[in-house]
Every structure is written in C-alpha cells, then in structure tokens.
Structure 1
C-alpha cells in the first residue's frame, strides 16, 4: 500500500509511544504527512525525527493535552499549514486500575478527560476542516466498554461514551466525514511488556490464554485496522465499532 496516503494529512493523538507512535509511522510509510500530539514533548520529538528521516514526509509536533481546546486548535492549524486535514486518529488515553470505591477524584477526572474529553475536543476542532475536504475520524475504544472487568469500571465507562459519540458523529458528519472506532483488546505495548516482566500472579498469562487466538495483539496490528478505516478501502463503513482483540469479544 505504498503511497496510499500520499497527499493526505493526518493528526494522531497519543503519538509519543505505543499504538499512536506505530500508527503515525505507518501513515508516513504510506506517504501521509502527520501531526503528532501527546503530552511528552521529548518523546514526541524523537518519534517525529525518526519518522521524517525514515520516510521523508512532513511531520509537525504539538505537545500538550489533547483534551485542551487550545491544543486541539493548534493541531488542526498545523494540519492546515501542511495543506489541510484528511484524517483524525484519536489514540490518546488513560486507564486507572481500581475498584469504583477506591477510585479517587483525580483519577476520575483524568480518565474522563484523557479518554472522552480528548476525543471530543479533537473531533470538535477537526470537524469543520474534515467537512471541507471530506475525510475520516477513527477513535480508540476497548473491549472494556462491553465486557465488564473488575478494576476497569471507569475506563470501560469512558470507552462506552466514546462509542456512543462515534455513532452520533457518524450521523451528524455524514455524508462528507466517516466516523468509526476500533475496540482494541490487550495489546503488546511497552506498558504491557513491563507488566509481564513483573507479574508474579499470572494475570497476563491468564488473559492471554483466554483469547481465542491465544496471544495478545501487536501495536502494528491495531494500527492496520486504523489504516483500513481511514482509507478508501472502507468507503462504505461509518458508525461502526470494529473489534480488534484476538477474539476477546467472544471469550
């Protein structure tokens, strides 16, 4: 698919690490220019330098909280400087692991802001430009939205909200903008690798063995689903939540 996104500009949030960084590089490898958004400016700059050197595309960095309306506006402005905006990929997120009664106000506020708040702020800022050019939004959801897991109630609730927002925007933004979401399951990110290295309870192994495919997803595999939903290959798909979780939605 070399050149599939040539001449197109994408904003990717959560682009300093994990699935976001992998997705940004995959878009660049297919010819797309990218605007990277994340809190960690140093890591974001490293990702930007690597992508620009490897793929020769235009890369812009916007450091800050994607839930901040000013950060969202800066990201859209950076995309316009590159020629316009064709794709918004909302990957940024946060998940505390605590039972409801043990969840503090700070984690409550941060989870809603980092998941629903960031997705909403970025979509609100991006939609006028996406409508002008025609384009796509792909949001990040999770199996936790539909399959209750102790300790992930708040995270799951925030992802339920993202799925509802996705469907509503798909109706509001049609026919010029398609809006979909990816429901990702456990994925072999840096965070999960670190957890596996220290996990003495066997929890990660238990989760893995319960998946029909018997393994966790790779960040590159989740990125491929984002790319499909962002591309002309999915031109008749909107308002959908695509499960990309090694069969976890059936387990």
Structure 2
C-alpha cells in the first residue's frame, strides 16, 4: 500500500484529504498539535481504511506534536518508514502569525517568526528528513495517463465552485511546459504537496505576514522542483474554505457561504492520479475569476 504523511490532519483540509486517501487504501502518518482531536481523526481514518476493500485494512498512525520541532519531524518520517516507505508528503500544517490578522504596521515580530517557522522552515526540515524515502518511492498513478500542458485545466477535476482546477499562470518551473504531446511528468520517486495560499501572490490588507510566509513556501517549492527532477512537487492554493484557520484570521467575516475543505479534495487527488507535472496549482474561488486567499 502507498504511504503518506499529512501534517495538520486533525481537521480542515488535512483531515479531508487523509480520509480520501484512507478510503483508497493508503497507509497514513498524521500529525497535529492537539492529541485528542488527532486521535479522533485517526479512528475515523482507520474505519475508512477498513472499508477500502483492498486487502489488509489501511493503517493510520497518529503522532501529536509540533512540526517546528525537529524531533517530531524525525518521528513522523520514522513512522512512515515502519509502514514501508513514503510516497506522498503533504505539508498542510500552518500558522497565521497573528489572530486575528493585523496590518503589517502592527504585526508582532514574534508572530511573524513563528509563522515563518511553521510555514517555511518546518516544511523544509520535514522534506529534508523524508528525502531518502521519497527518492526511493515506486508509487505510480493507477488512473489512465493524461497529457498535461502547463496552462491547462486538470482533466476531470473541479474546484469548490464547479470551476476547472487549473494551473497558475506562472509556470516557469512546470515540467513539460508548453507541450501537449509529451506524457505526464511522472518521476521515479514520490510526491510533495505543499499547501499555499493566494495571499502568497496577491496583496490583501492584514494578510501580509501570512502571505509572506506562503510566498517563501512557494519559492522553496519551485526550487525543490528544479533540484529534484525525480520527484513531483506541487504547491497548491486550495481557494477560500470554511476552516478554523480562516475563522481565526477574520473572526468578523461570515464564513457560512464558503465551501468546506472536502470540496477541494477531488482536485488534489487528480494531481496525484494524473501524475501532474511539478508546479503551482490554484482553484478559482468564484466564477468570473475572482481569486482566493
């Protein structure tokens, strides 16, 4: 069975993606800072794995801790190794830096340092720790091969509002860019999925600290895509979602109309299934092209 590490998996997008993978028979290592909610999520993942119908029940190892801690990152990778290896690393855990968000003139510097530590330094540290396992992954997509252009929508996938899940216009680092005749880029190793934000590429008042951290994550991801051609590296803006993170960022906003994280998962799975080339992908937030944070 393929193996994934998913950080920040006790709720939101991390939990929704973990549930989808467990239902497909993936073995999982999941993390979050709060032990109780994480174990509750892990029980649901094990139940989903039992119903996968692919031989032995999928396993879910729950390791509470802080991704900013090097010892915890090492434990996550060690757990994946005990499950047989690592095929997908999802850096989903995130930190705002200020709750609620504030203008840069008022942003606490300690908060920005913490956001950079969780959103940038920790993903780098986890990737470094996991690189030996990722490089030796033999996972390959089980779905039909689909040829991708760097500017094309991912076939068969929809974002939370029915829009095609398409690649970002900045595609300098996308493999097979500009060729519809080449097969999908499928590396010899595993895949890295870094969860980004539109705040990484657009300027929104009060989102400066968080956006700066996500912009750094984007650049870091792009360099990894260049340096590790045997891997697939995706950095994805999932669009506006109804999450605890957004509620903490903007508590006065009415989030009731925002889509739930589970609606984003099909697009993420199509990246995996189609062997999508390394690059930045985004889901449009609303019809008409309005972008999301």
For Structure 1 versus Structure 2, the TM-score category normalised by the shorter chain is: 0.7 to 0.9
Structural mapping, 1:90-169, within 5 Å: 90-95=91-96, 96=98, 97-133=101-137, 134-169=189-224
Cα distance in 1 between the residues matched to 2:281 and 2:266: 12
Structural mapping, 1:1-80, within 5 Å: 7-56=1-50, 57-80=58-81
Q: Give the one of 246, 252, 265 matched to 1:223.
A: 265
Cα pair 2:7 2:90 within 8 Å, conserved: yes
Paired residue secondary structure (1:217): coil
Cα distance in 2 between the residues matched to 1:189 and 1:14: 12
Cα distance in 2 between the residues matched to 1:71 and 1:249: 43
Q: Give the one of 243, 246, 263 matched to 1:189.
A: 243
Paired residue secondary structure (1:148): coil
What is the number of residues matched between the two proteins? 229
- Listed as ranges, the gaps of 5+ residues in structure 1 are 1-6, 209-214
Cα distance in 2 between the residues matched to 1:245 and 1:119: 25
With structure 2 as the length reference, what TM-score do the two structures score?
Answer: 0.72
By how many angstroms is 1:227 displaced?
Answer: 2.1
Cα distance in 1 between the residues matched to 2:87 and 2:35: 24
- With over 3 angstroms needed to count, the CA separation of the structure-2 counterparts of 1:42 and 1:236, relative to structure 1, is closer
Cα pair 2:197 2:211 within 8 Å, conserved: yes
Paired residue secondary structure (2:66): coil
By how many angstroms is 1:249 displaced?
Answer: 9.8
Q: Which has the higher helix share?
A: 1
**What is residue 212 of structure 1 aligned with on the other side?**
none
**What is residue 4 of structure 1 aligned with on the other side?**
none
